[in-house]
Structure 1
């Protein structure tokens, strides 16, 4: 299967994932690229609400290097602030579409 047969949406989605992967591997200013949401918080107040815990891709303020702007924009559009597990499942599902 050639590149021309890959869905445009999937190309942008994986471009955003590529950006996240490259940031983690090559940008020393990025300590973590995810945020934890939900669970219990302190100090505790009543009525007590304990939301479900989720790990989401973190917002990255800006990209300085122009050559990565397309990947950055795809990260913001397709990956940023979404649950990591959901994005991982979506990636696996997309890959399976292109299996021979």
Structure 2
């Protein structure tokens, strides 16, 4: 597992829209950074973190999202997800409605 070394969830806000269940900032003190605009998603009993992203329009006119921050491989992405998700769920449980 990834060692977040003091990482924490900031500013969790519950927000229900499609798969989106909340937005938050992730503080990573070991890296000296805060990832703003992260999202908690859930669908069919599966939960995952959506990193900050920006919308763009595809050539066919449909809207899509492009990650601003991403992992360089799937293994790193899933390890970070495993570490962050329990922190996010705890923050969600404590957040006001």
Same fold (TM over 0.5): no
TM-score (norm 1): 0.28
More helix by share: 1
More strand by share: 2
Question: Looking at both structures, which has the greater relative contact order when contacts are Cα pairs under 8 Å and sequence separation is at least 6?
Answer: 1
